[in-house]
Amino acid sequence: MKDLLDIEGASGALYRFRLHDTNRELPATAGNYLIVRREEGALQVIGCGEAQSLMSARPLWAEAVAEHGAEQLYLRLNVARAHRVGEHEDIVAKHRPQLVKNEG
């Protein structure tokens, strides 16, 4: 999969996420995250979250791998709470992932 992922929200806005090496520690920075897998050649968003610390994405990532065959974790550093929440809601509205976490 690509290092950078542009994902469209229901509004038509594009959001750029960076691939995270899941063998490395997650950053303590606030942001949004996507959990994805390939299904029949197409990218499927199976998890989406926003957090004050991206370190809190670890449990949802583990669940997504164990129960949904997740393959990659993408991060978007986004400190401003209002932006994080708005982007999260926009992505969820378009992709309807099975796993959603909003720390709001």
What digits encode the pLDDT tens for the residues 35-93? 999 988 899 999 999 999 999 999 999 999 999 999 999 999 998 999 999 999 999 99
Per-residue confidence at 102, pLDDT binned at 50, 70, 90?
Answer: confident
2 burial (CB, 10 Å; 0-12 / 13-18 / 19+) is: exposed
Give pLDDT, residue 61.
96
Annotation: CATH topology of 4-102: GIY-YIG endonuclease (3.40.1440)
Q: Exposed e or buried b for every residue in 3-32, given b needs 16+ CB within 10 A? A: eebebebeeeeebebebbebeeebeeebbb
Give pLDDT, residue 104.
64
- What is the tally of helices (H) and strands (E) in the chain? 2, 6
